[in-house]
Chain A
Amino acid sequence: MYWEKEIETMDRGGLEKVQMARLRETLARAKKSVHYGKLFAEMGLDAGAIRTVADVGKLPLTTKEDLRENWPYGFLACSRDDLIRMHSSSGTTGRATVIFHTESDVAAWTNLLARSMYMAGMRRSDVFQNMMTYGLFTGGLGFHYGAEKIGALVIPAGAGNSKRQIQLMRDFGTTAIHIIPSYALHLASVFTESGYDPRRDTKLRMAFIGAEPHSEKMRRKIEEFYGFKAFNSYGLSEMNGPGMAFECPEQHGLHIWEDNYIVEIIDPATQKILPEGEEGELVATTLMREGMPIIRYRTKDLTRIIPGPCPCARTHRRIERIKGRTDDMMIIKGVNIFPIQIEKRLMEIPGVGTNFVIILDRVDYGDQMTVKVEVQRGFFGGNLQQLETLRRRIVEEIKTDILITPKVDLVEPDSLPKSEGKAVRVIDNRKD
């Protein structure tokens, strides 16, 4: 049931002691880096002033811009000879950020993934198909190492090539997969087209889904189609990658591994620390990273800490599924909207297919939102009235949620660009 029972169920007092000891080491190491060395000297930071875990709030925040400005080695706290691995963020805007790992960093990260997957129920008897991009992206290698540590048989399938993925599952009796949620839905349609039913024709029993925010409805849709449990995984490359927080069998929030990270929730506008339970931006400090410690990193991910204990008896606090990223937020007619709100609504409507895209335009100096929605294969009954009714329902449902009337276009199944990587949900054509 537990990978490391003692640490996973340690009482808060004990856990904070571990955090405090590791924070001290982290600060001492960070000081050796060009960036923190200079910053601590400028601030006149006295490590002695940090006495409790809560004092971490006195330390400066670190942003993606800081990582970019110090590219590539300005955060390094060890000799380059000690590094054994580098990873990079997907870098959709600006220069990608680079993270370096020492041998002990990779070992600690691997252990967190093993702990996470074991918590969700994966064992050495499982056959694990890792359907994530390998390479610079952390999702591939991270899970690969974790699954090997558990002792599962790992199929390093990589991303894409849906027909081959299904073939591998069938040939080698895959029981567990790691997959991007939007791709899981796309693969579902490939299953159907090929005449296979994953419930009948595969041995799949669990999935790890992550790397993009998704709604509870989307998870349920995936679970229902495949007939397995899908566990939400959270992480970002700056904080190692996946394995930072993970769902337990309760599937109610993700335990964030507090022996490896100190987490805070801040108000993204004022940067003030928010009380437990309030929603804001997740800020995290690495506690087990030797090569490249990062202090109070602004993840740009919006979530909250779920107050109270989890029935699974793990004491590491839980974060709620990511609501969105501060930079995914769309401002339409002055209203803040996240793509996931639209997704949530769409998933509740029968007849809606697997993919959608939001297009923002400026028409006559006003914002216009168009949502292109794929119709579910099999829904089409041959009459226009039925489609028109569906279209109107989608308009109404979205309007109820975000108070903006979207233009909705129904498109053919599988006609929107397929996502074998992270789904592109928003195309913003508004240029000033």
Chain B
Amino acid sequence: MISYQLSIFAENKPGRLAAVTRVLAKEKINIRATTIATSDTFGVINLIVDDPRRAEAALTKAGMTVTLNQVLAVVIPDQPGGLDRLTQLLLAEGININNAYGFVLESHKKAVFVVSVDQIEKAEKLLDKHGFQTLDAEALSAVEPFHYMKY
């Protein structure tokens, strides 16, 4: 299953993330996970939300620079070695991970790892074959928000 990640180009200045969350809160869009990658003066805010297309439209309307990218949301066991199995598998097939971050679904049981890769279809098939479960946008949105906060 392919899922979607929103990326927002933002200058490193106070209030940028707050501006993003304000727009999404107003639209009643739930944020599942967020990471921020920064360079010296600018960065990229990545978001997993329950309604990516509506979020994209709302943020664009608010004047932000947004893109929607396909990612894989991979369910992995929340235990030592769980993530390693996934990354080794991708490495062995020559699939490049551009960005990855995770959140826990059920403490010590399941975690979701969001990976942005260069050959998404190949990666999806590969994971499928090796018994990894991947979540689509709908399944992701069914995840209880901020569950990972319990960690």
Interface residues of A (CB under 8 A from B): 375, 377, 380-385, 387-388, 391, 409-415
Q: Which of the candidate stretches B62-70, B77-85, B141-149 sits at the interface with the other chain?
A: B62-70
Which residue of the partner chain B has the closest CB to A391? B39
Q: Which one of A377, A380, A391, A415 has the highest number of Cβ atoms from chain B below 10 Å of its Cβ?
A: A380
Given A409-B41, A409-B42, A411-B42, decide whether A383 and B116 contact each other with a Cβ distance below 8 A.
Answer: yes
A388 to B42, CA, bound (A): 9
Query: Measured between alpha carbons, how far is A31 from B38 in the docked complex, in Å?
Result: 67
> Is B11 among interface residues, defined by CB-CB distance under 8 A?
yes
B99 within 8 A of A: yes
Considering the complex, give the chain A residue whose CB is closest to the CB of B40.
Answer: A409
CB of B53 to closest CB in A, whole Å:
15
- Residues of B contacting A: mostly: strand
**In contact, A387 and B44 (Cβ under 8 angstroms):** yes
**Which B residues lie within 8 Å of A415 (CB)?**
11
Which of A375, A384, A411, A414 is close to B43, meaning CB atoms less than 8 Å apart? A384
* A-chain residues with CB within 8 Å of residue B68 when the two chains form the complex: 382
11 intermolecular pairs with C-beta atoms under 8 Å apart: A380-B9, A380-B66, A381-B7, A382-B7, A382-B68, A382-B69, A384-B43, A387-B39, A387-B44, A410-B11, A414-B63
Task: Give Cα A144–Cα B43 distance, bound, in whole angstroms.
Answer: 46
- CB < 8 Å A-B pair total: 53
Q: If A391-B39, A409-B42, A410-B42 touch, does A382 touch B5 (CB 8 Å cutoff)?
A: yes
Residues of chain B within 8 A (CB-CB) of A385 are: 98
Cβ proximity bits B89-113 to A, threshold 8 Å, 1 near / 0 not:
0000000001100000000000000
Q: Which of B10, B43, B63, B67 is close to A381, meaning CB atoms less than 8 Å apart?
A: B67
Measured CA separation A411–B46 after assembly (Å): 17
Instruction: Report the Cα distance A375→B40, complex, angstroms.
Output: 16
Smallest CB separation, A226 vs chain B (Å): 23
Could you tell me if A384 and B39 are in contact, using CB atoms closer than 8 angstroms? yes
B43 neighbours in A (Cβ, 8 Å) = 384
> How far, in angstroms, from A368 to B22 measured CA to CA in the complex?
36
**Pair B69/A411 contact, Cβ less than 8 Å:** no
Q: Assess whether B99 is in contact with A383, with CB atoms less than 8 Å apart.
A: yes
Q: Are B67 and A411 in contact (CB under 8 A)?
A: no
**A383 contacts B11, CB within 8 Å?**
no
Residue B11 contacts which of A380, A412, A414 (CB distance < 8 angstroms)?
A: A412
Tell which of B39, B65, B98, B116 has the most Cβ of chain A within 10 Å: B65
**Distance from A185 Cβ to chain B, minimum over Cβ atoms (Å):** 17
CB pair A412 B39 closer than 8 Å: no
Are the CB atoms of B39 and A375 closer together than 8 Å?
no
In the assembled complex, the Cα of A410 lies from the Cα of B43 at a distance in Å of: 10
CB of B37 closer than 8 Å to a CB of A: yes
- Neighbour of B65 across the interface among A375, A384, A391, A409, CB < 8 A: A375
